[in-house]
């Protein structure tokens, strides 16, 4: 369709029926078969929207009115919801969220993978879709009236001020409110991304077992203003805080933590339990932010691995070893592979901390190491893969299939890349048996999946 015959015009209003949601939670409809994105609209709704942007293949509209509302539409509980970009679908009931996510997995499994959508099971829901995040990292900016702490407005780096976040554990919200008051009382400046002036860039908090909290104050300056007072007042007002750090991040960009870390007070690590295993969590550690749902995810991975105690398992993309250690409880031996050396260092520490001896970890490219292990005589019974959002490299998929394990368990945080990879594995003699979505991040469009693939005879 050329620009001349685009059926919509800027600032004109049009009526459209919404059929789906995009990756950011925006409604997707069409005008005369021309795609229209309408933030705030829900599937099944008929809406009127004013065109605010028109491209060659799609347009974006501003929601003006809802002619026919969805039965799943609800009033968001968060007062900052329409400005903040942290959550995307809180205007959808939780039942509606689960339905949308399940359909999204079915669509990509069918469309991108070429599999039957009947392989997708109902989403495993969260018992509580609120106050579930045990890690908070909020940006700090400087406004005319003083420092601003909150979350970025969607699609921008403008900080929306908040007093608390409904998907954070309350211990983290208490840290946020303390930081806001402390910086105002002592006239401490937030960071200005454009001028690169100011001091405090982020406030990070992590909640571990028994409600214990670690706080990390990230600054652009080498020194933390009023460092001793931060510790003194936090200890007085937040007795749940057991560890306080100062981190220096001088570099521009989106990376929250810098390399320089100063331990100001208290414990150096938190303890966080997952699947009966205890993990030491430091400021740099990766740990699942929604523990109860992560346990459901891991339980399903263990179920699909079908271990009886005599198996050798490879955990590709093992990260800090959380899945590896869970597998080790039921396997003869687990070999974890991860290209990030710092993560492997943590994996070894986690194994030692939990007295798990039937694991070994390698800091290597799984696509290169697995063929070497195969040549050395290793024949794994099961291979587990839990890659980043980009999915597995084709080298890893080919290396895994060449080792001819009976089963593969694929844990994914991106259904689209999983479907792509499952299609490749299908061409390498592995049959997709089932896909279990797990709602690890309620109120957002993110959905995780666990899939079982078996070697075809």
CATH number of the domain encompassing residue 328: 3.40.50.150
- pLDDT value for 1: 46
Q: Is 185 exposed, middle or buried (0-12, 13-18, 19+ CB in 10 A)?
A: exposed
Same domain? For 122 and 160 the reply is no
Same domain? For 24 and 157 the reply is no
Which CATH number goes with the domain that contains 9? 2.40.50.140
How many angstroms separate the CA atoms of 300 and 306, rounded? 10
Same domain? For 231 and 379 the reply is no
The reply to whether 190 falls in a domain is yes
The reply to whether 78 falls in a domain is no
Structure tokens at 454: 């078996």
The reply to whether 7 falls in a domain is yes
The reply to whether 99 falls in a domain is no
Look up the pTM and report it: 0.94
How many angstroms separate the CA atoms of 93 and 74, rounded? 6
CA atoms within 13 A on the CB side of 50: 6
Q: Which backbone phi and psi does 221 adopt, to 5 degrees? A: -95, 150
How many angstroms separate the CA atoms of 296 and 450, rounded? 10
The series of mean pLDDT values per 10 residues for the chain, 457 residues long, is: 74 97 95 96 98 95 97 95 92 98 97 98 97 98 92 89 96 98 96 93 98 98 98 98 98 94 97 96 94 98 98 97 97 97 95 97 96 95 97 95 97 98 98 98 98 95
Which CATH number goes with the domain that contains 248? 2.40.50.1070
The reply to whether 40 falls in a domain is yes
Same domain? For 364 and 431 the reply is yes
Same domain? For 121 and 140 the reply is no
Same domain? For 260 and 390 the reply is no
How many domains are there within the chain? 3
Helix (H, G, I), strand (E, B) or coil at 4: helix
Same domain? For 428 and 361 the reply is yes
Structural domain span for residue 56:
3-68
Same domain? For 38 and 183 the reply is no
Q: Is 413 a catalytic residue?
A: yes
- pLDDT value for 85: 84
Structure tokens at 195: 């001028």
Same domain? For 255 and 295 the reply is no
Q: In the chain, what's the furthest Cα-to-Cα distance?
A: 70
Same domain? For 176 and 236 the reply is yes
Same domain? For 374 and 425 the reply is yes
Same domain? For 195 and 320 the reply is no
How many angstroms separate the CA atoms of 327 and 334, rounded? 7
How many angstroms separate the CA atoms of 452 and 134, rounded? 29
Helix (H, G, I), strand (E, B) or coil at 20: strand
Under 8 Å between Cβ of 64 and 12: no
**C-alpha 455: how far from chain center:** 30
The reply to whether 256 falls in a domain is yes
The reply to whether 77 falls in a domain is no
- Which of 274, 301, 330 represents a domain boundary (last residue)? 274
The reply to whether 281 falls in a domain is no
């Amino acid at each position: 369709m050329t620009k001349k015959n685009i059926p919509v015009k800027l600032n004109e209003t049009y009526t459209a029926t919404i059929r789906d949601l995009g990756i950011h939670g925006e409604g997707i409809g069409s005008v005369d078969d021309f795609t229209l994105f309408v933030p705030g609209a829900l599937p099944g709704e008929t809406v009127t929207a004013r065109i605010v942007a028109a491209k060659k293949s799609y347009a974006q509209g501003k929601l003006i009115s809802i002619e026919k509302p969805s039965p799943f539409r609800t009033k968001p509980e968060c007062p900052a919801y329409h400005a903040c970009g942290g959550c995307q679908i809180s205007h959808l009931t939780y039942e509606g969220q689960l339905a949308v996510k399940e359909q999204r997995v079915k669509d990509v499994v069918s469309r991108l993978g070429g599999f039957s959508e009947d392989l997708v099971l109902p989403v495993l829901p969260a018992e509580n879709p609120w106050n579930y995040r045990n890690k908070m990292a909020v940006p700090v900016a400087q406004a005319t009236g003083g420092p601003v702490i909150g979350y970025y407005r969607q699609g921008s780096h403008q900080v929306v001020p908040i007093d608390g976040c409904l998907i954070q554990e309350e211990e983290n919200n208490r840290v946020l409110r303390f930081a806001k008051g402390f910086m105002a009382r002592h006239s401490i400046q937030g960071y200005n991304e454009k001028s690169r002036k100011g001091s405090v860039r982020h406030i990070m908090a992590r909640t571990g077992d028994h409600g214990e909290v670690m706080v990390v104050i990230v600054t652009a300056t080498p020194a933390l203003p009023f460092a001793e007072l931060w510790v003194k007042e936090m200890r007085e007002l937040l007795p749940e805080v057991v560890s306080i750090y100062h981190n220096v991040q001088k570099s521009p960009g989106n990376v929250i933590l810098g390399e320089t870390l100063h331990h100001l007070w208290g414990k150096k690590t938190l303890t966080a339990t997952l699947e009966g295993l205890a993990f030491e969590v430091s400021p740099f550690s990766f740990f699942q932010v929604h523990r109860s749902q992560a346990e459901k995810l891991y339980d399903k991975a263990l179920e699909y691995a079908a271990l009886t105690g005599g198996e050798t398992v490879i955990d590709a993309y093992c990260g800090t070893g959380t899945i590896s250690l869970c597998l080790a409880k039921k396997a003869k031996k687990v070999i974890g592979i991860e290209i990030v050396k710092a993560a492997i260092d943590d994996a070894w520490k986690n194994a030692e901390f939990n007295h798990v001896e039937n694991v070994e970890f390698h800091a290597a490219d799984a696509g290169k190491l697995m063929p070497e292990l195969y040549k050395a005589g290793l024949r794994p019974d099961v291979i587990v893969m839990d890659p980043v959002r980009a999915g597995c490299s084709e080298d890893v998929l080919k290396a895994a299939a060449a080792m001819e394990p009976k089963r593969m368990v694929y844990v994914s945080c991106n259904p689209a890349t999983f479907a792509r990879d499952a299609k490749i594995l299908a061409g390498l003699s592995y049959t997709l048996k089932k896909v279990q979505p797990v709602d690890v991040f309620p109120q957002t469009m993110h959905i995780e999946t666990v899939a079982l693939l078996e070697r075809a005879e």
